[in-house]
Amino acid sequence: MAIELIDFDLSTQEMRVLRKTAAQAVISLRLKDIEISIISIISQRIKNLNKLYRQQDVVTDVLSFRYEDEGEIFICLPQTKRQAKENKVTLREELQKLIVHGMAHLAGYDHIKTRDFQEMKKIEDRILNKVK
């Protein structure tokens, strides 16, 4: 298992917490056999990716892409900061939530249907509770 966090301008302690969160998600979601890159990007870049791959011409918070033995999770840091403020949580907590959400997508979960959303949310909450 390899997890790489790229372009996050955070303290060593915050990065340690994010790595711990990602590692717990890998274990809980049984993603041990893939290499995962978690990349912080700007709003325009995630909007372009969202339009290209999902036909959604809007900024989103997180996008995940799974290949055979690799996965990429793109997190829009400006959007994450806005959401943290709206949700009255710390940036770290919002990043943890998005990392776990992205990992769940890599594991094959989605939230298109309400039932799937509820199942995915339970799994994410369980993982996040393990790293608190």
Binding site members for Zn(2+)? 101, 105, 111
Residues forming the annotated binding site?
101, 105, 111
How far apart CA 27 and CA 14 sit, in angstroms, is 20
Beta strands in the chain (DSSP E): 2-6, 35-41, 62-66, 70-76
Q: How many CB atoms lie within 10 A of CB 80?
A: 18
Phi, psi (degrees; rounded to nearest 5) at 35? -90, 135
